[in-house]
A and B are shown apart, each in its own frame.
Chain A
């Protein structure tokens, strides 16, 4: 079974600064996807970024980037130029590669507060 661990329950960052959220996972699979989802106070789950395990290049989406270390089973999220709207719960998630019928395995989440 796969597990996802987020070791930072809460973090805070000053507006415009950079913050890194940690995530490690355990799996025996070789083909899989990793995701970061954001859940703001509205509770809508929003996809932030995704990474295919077979790709060595780290995914980036504007101010969001990941540091994917497959051998270490580590998948951290870096948020640059933090904005007040980034305040949210962030979940790291794992999904086996399949034909779309496998669920996500979530970490417990990291609550990020961006301070003005």
Chain B
């Protein structure tokens, strides 16, 4: 149990286009999901907290108009990178919190590698 999927696993796009990344909790419901960005050989950097039915909370320095987050249901959150530029190329990872039972635990999707040409 506690599986999180992400789609696509990798995407290449032209500068100026928009890219949508989906994050799904497959076997549990998550009122909160998180989006992270990871540069090579670095730790995960939190971008935003996605809350089902309400607006996302963005970390300082993350442009909310560039990184649009929608948490449409208890199992799906999407991240749209609008008007992508080469500097947006990165590895994007989502996570979802499984609550209850022994306590809260975050499970991660496999990540999406975005390359903007």
Contacts and interface: CB of A to CB of B under 8 A. Distances in A.
B43 A45 contact: no
Interface residues of B, number: 26
B117 interface: no
Q: Which of A45, A91, A104, A109: most chain B CB closer than 10 A?
A: A45
Instruction: Please classify the interface of chain A as helix (H, G, I), strand (E, B), loop, or mixed, using the class held by over half of its residues.
Output: loop
B31 A106 contact: no
A35 B105 contact: yes
Interface residues of A, number: 24
A37 B106 CA distance: 10
Interface of B: 30-32, 34, 38, 42-44, 46, 49, 51, 91, 93, 95, 97-99, 102-108, 110-111
Q: What 4 A-B pairs have minimum CB-CB distances, sorted nearest first?
A: A45-B108, A100-B99, A100-B97, A101-B32
24 contacts: A35-B105, A35-B106, A37-B108, A43-B91, A43-B110, A44-B111, A47-B105, A50-B103, A50-B105, A52-B103, A91-B44, A95-B104, A95-B106, A100-B97, A100-B99, A101-B32, A103-B49, A104-B44, A104-B46, A104-B95, A106-B44, A107-B43, A108-B42, A109-B43
